[in-house]
Amino acid sequence: MARIDLNHIRHAYVPNPKSDKDYALKEVHHSWEDGGAYALLGPSGCGKTTLLNIISGLIHPSHGQLLFDGQDVTNLSTQERNIAQVFQFPVIYDTMTVYDNLAFPLRNRGVPEAEIDRKVRETLEMIDLGSWAKKKARGLTADQKQKISLGRGLVRSDVNAILFDEPLTVIDPHMKWVLRSQLKQLHQRFGYTMVYVTHDQTEALTFAQKVVVMYDGEIVQIGTPEELFERPKHTFVGYFIGSPGMNVMPVQLSGGMAQVGRHQIQLPSPSMPAVSGKVELGIRPEYVRLGRLGMPVKIAKVEDIGRLKIVRTRLEDQEIAVIVGEGQEIPTDPHIAFDPKGINIYADSWRVGGL
């Protein structure tokens, strides 16, 4: 296990990058604590796989430095870095049996056969393929292949870190849940440093202690699930985390008040730092109160999602989603009010501190 520092890492796939646009990773400066369980969350194409490949050494970054426990490993090979990685698309060795597939990384490292046998059987149990050990890997189904791929990542016990790149995409929901809790257990037992890439926010929020949100080649926020929910640092995090995402609307600020259209909204703290650029107010649907007080709105749509209802309202030409309890009645003359503790102010998409 190791602490991993990414020191001003930038990466471009094109040979002579000129502008920021040419970089798949714009600038990543961040530490993964020893034994931390991180989820890496972000939209397609934001550079998640690129980042993992840089950590494991499959890609050499264009700029920057990579440290494992303080030692520079930027120029070490994948093998020397001793990292396990599970790929987005399952890779299996067709001609080998399921057992040999799992034993392969150990055999390549000259682990004694008895130790191999113990580890492989343990891992086979974990991924629920114990009875398939002797079968050729060729004829297996997609989810079995993905399990083998996952198993090969878990079979080595001495790795510096385990990187998962959306390892459970084709696995059915129940098995997904089982495997995820097993990964969690493994983490608690052995204290691996784990980075888990996913598109799926519930997966990220249940797996990880810390969630890292990436957007367009940058890390926009690192925090606990609560922090991401309550205080999104970037409007993207607000949209991306939560369902439905945060309501974001353009506002004008003046003396402790925010103006949305014709309406004035009291900010939680009167001492606002000076802001410039595009100013927006963000509030999660959970913090918008629907009732007879506040700003008059029109109801566009009501969606029933079980215990809760999502009410899509319109405040002038601004759409605002509201979450209300299932039993709550929707007034005929609806008004909304913002709970001050849920209000965040953004300048050029980045959160303005101090609120």
Ligand X SMILES: Nc1ncnc2c1ncn2[C@@H]1O[C@H](COP(=O)(O)OP(=O)(O)OP(=O)(O)O)[C@@H](O)[C@H]1O
Residues in touch with ligand X (CB under 6 A): 13, 24, 42, 44-50, 88
- Between 89 and 350, name the residue whose CB sits nearer to ligand X: 89
State in angstroms the smallest separation of the CB of 144 from ligand X.
22
What is the x/- site pattern for other proteins, positions 112-151, by CB under 8 A?
------------------------x------------x--
State in angstroms the smallest separation of the CB of 139 from other proteins.
11
Q: What residues contact residue 177 under an 8 Å CB cut-off, 6+ apart?
A: none
State in angstroms the smallest separation of the CB of 26 from ligand X.
11
Pairwise CA distance, residues 87 & 197, whole Å? 10
Q: Strands 37-41 and 23-32, how do they pair?
A: unpaired
Q: Is 53 in the site for Mg ion (CB under 5 A)?
A: no
- Between 92 and 251, name the residue whose CB sits nearer to other proteins: 92
Q: Is 83 in the site for other proteins (CB under 8 A)?
A: yes
Q: What residues contact residue 199 under an 8 Å CB cut-off, 6+ apart?
A: 41, 43, 44, 166
Rounded to 10°, the helix 98-108/113-126 angle is 130
Positive or negative, the Cα torsion across 287, 292, 297, 299?
positive
Q: What residues contact residue 248 under an 8 Å CB cut-off, 6+ apart?
A: 235, 238, 239, 280, 281, 282, 346
State in angstroms the smallest separation of the CB of 89 from other proteins.
6
- Between 47 and 223, name the residue whose CB sits nearer to Mg ion: 47
- Between 53 and 144, name the residue whose CB sits nearer to Mg ion: 53
Per 3-state DSSP, what percentage of the chain is helix, strand, and coil (rounded to 5)? 30, 35, 40
Q: Is 50 in the site for other proteins (CB under 8 A)?
A: no
The one of ligand X, Mg ion, other proteins, none whose footprint includes residue 95, by CB under 5 to 8 A per kind, is: other proteins
Which one of 9-17, 76-84, 183-191, 193-201 is the stretch in contact with other proteins (CB under 8 A)? 76-84
Dihedral angle over CA of 288, 293, 294, 296, nearest 10: 100
Pairwise CA distance, residues 180 & 336, whole Å? 39
Cα–Cα distances (Å) from 257 to 250, 253, 293, 302, 331, in that order, read 13, 6, 18, 30, 27
State in angstroms the smallest separation of the CB of 52 from Mg ion.
8
- Between 49 and 144, name the residue whose CB sits nearer to Mg ion: 49
Taking CB under 5 A as the criterion, the residue among 5, 25, 32, 49 binding Mg ion is 49
- Between 71 and 95, name the residue whose CB sits nearer to other proteins: 95
What does the binding site for Mg ion look like in residue numbers (CB under 5 A)?
49
